[in-house]
Amino acid sequence: STTPLKVAVTGAAGQIGYSLLFRLASGALGDRPIELRLLEIEPALKTLEGVVMELDDCAFPNLAGIEIGHEAEKVFDGVNLALLVGARPRGPGMERGDLLEANGAIFTAQGKALNAVAADDVRIGVTGNPANTNALIAMTNAPDVPQSRFSALTRLDHNRAISQLAAKTGAPVTDITHMTIWGNHSATQYPDLFHAQVAGRNAAETVGDQDWLENTFIPTVAKRGAAIIDARGSSSAASAASATIDAARDWLHGSADDDWVSMAVVSDGSYGVPEGLISSFPVTTRDGDWEIVQGLEIDDFSRARIDASVAELAEERDAVAKLGLI
């Protein structure tokens, strides 16, 4: 189709935005022209105007238009894809409850705006943290949008896990398949090597080193965000943008045959994850829809880790329910 795909990006003047917008505009989602709808808070609009000048200066052939603004109902009008990146970071002296409340205000308003004005086929990907719970808040505040249209980003964790496993085994990343991140996009997430494969062979068996799996691999993947802040002085941005693109591309165009990806999506009770929580699962995608991969055997080691991360999600849900956000 030559009708442009309308793509909303929130927090467009931020770090991730600075990488994400140029990837979107240069064709990372395919050949279809795109129109960018960029949402920021008012004080950041001047910075955003500068970013738009740079986008203009790239003369991207497939960039059909750019609109910016600070009012969600205007910016989200008719969007087919909404990438919710902007969120309130934890400031000095801010408690966890304050953080949930500040983000709750953002994601209730954006959920309502999407409900009112987005296109009928809208897909909504939440990158801004706490991503799973922000997605839950937006989803709950958008009752007319099917729940399956919301997802939170665990693709960066997924990609980190692939990269760590490739480095350990000496295999190219293209040989690593069937990776899964379970649970919350947080330090409790569970990157699963028992179903992953290296060149078609079971990854845990190929590695053959339970100590590495337990004490190096899992914590390295789960704490990678903190390691990047330590090294770079600011949080992962280009890799987060790249994962946001990977997730959106696969959602719209389908995951690879005979493989799956990790997405945090609303649970239907699969794998004992309580219905209604937005938790990361192995999913296949096709024609803009996702399906949770069924029938994987979960041993006691994996069960305990999935349960711990899901318990954290349930706590976050209870906290935002108490605040009246869902």
Residue sitting closest to ligand NAI (CB): 14
Tell me the CB-side half-sphere exposure of residue 186, using CA atoms within 13 A: 19
Beta carbon of residue 261, minimum distance to ligand NAI (angstroms, whole number):
14
d(CA 126, CA 276): 16
185 is an active site residue: yes
Query: CA 115 to CA 284: how far, in whole Å?
Result: 26
Catalytic residue among 158, 185, 195, 253: 185
The interaxial angle of helices 96-117 and 131-140, nearest 10 deg, is 40
User: Smaller CB distance to ligand NAI: residue 69 or 288?
Assistant: 69
Sites of contact with ligand NAI (CB under 6 A): 10-11, 13-17, 39-41, 44, 85-89, 106, 127-129, 131, 153, 156, 185, 235-237, 240
Q: Is 303 annotated as a binding residue?
A: no
Q: How far apart are CA 75 and CA 80, in angstroms?
A: 12
12 belongs to an annotated ligand binding site: yes
CA distance 14 to 12: 5
Beta carbon of residue 182, minimum distance to ligand NAI (angstroms, whole number): 15
Nearer to ligand NAI by Cβ, of 10 and 197: the residue is 10
State the Cα–Cα distance between residues 261 and 181, nearest whole angstrom: 9
Residues paired with residue 34 on neighbouring β-strands, in sequence order: 5, 63
**CA end-to-end span of the chain:** 37
Least distance to ligand NAI, CB of residue 156, Å: 4
Between residues 236 and 285, which has the closer beta carbon with respect to ligand NAI?
Answer: 236
105 marked as binding residue: no
123 in a labelled binding site: no
Tell me the C-alpha distance between 312 and 305, whole Å: 11
- Kindly tell me which of 62 and 188 has the beta carbon lying closer to ligand NAI: 188
Q: Which two tokens stand for residue 25?
A: 């505009």
298 known member of a binding site: no
The distance of closest approach from Cβ of residue 268 to ligand NAI in the complex, given in angstroms and rounded to an integer, is 22
**Residues paired with residue 66 on neighbouring β-strands, in sequence order:** 36
Which residues are part of a known binding site for substrate? 90, 96, 129, 160
Which residues are part of a known binding site for NAD(+)? 11-17, 103, 110, 127-129
Q: Catalytic site residues?
A: 185
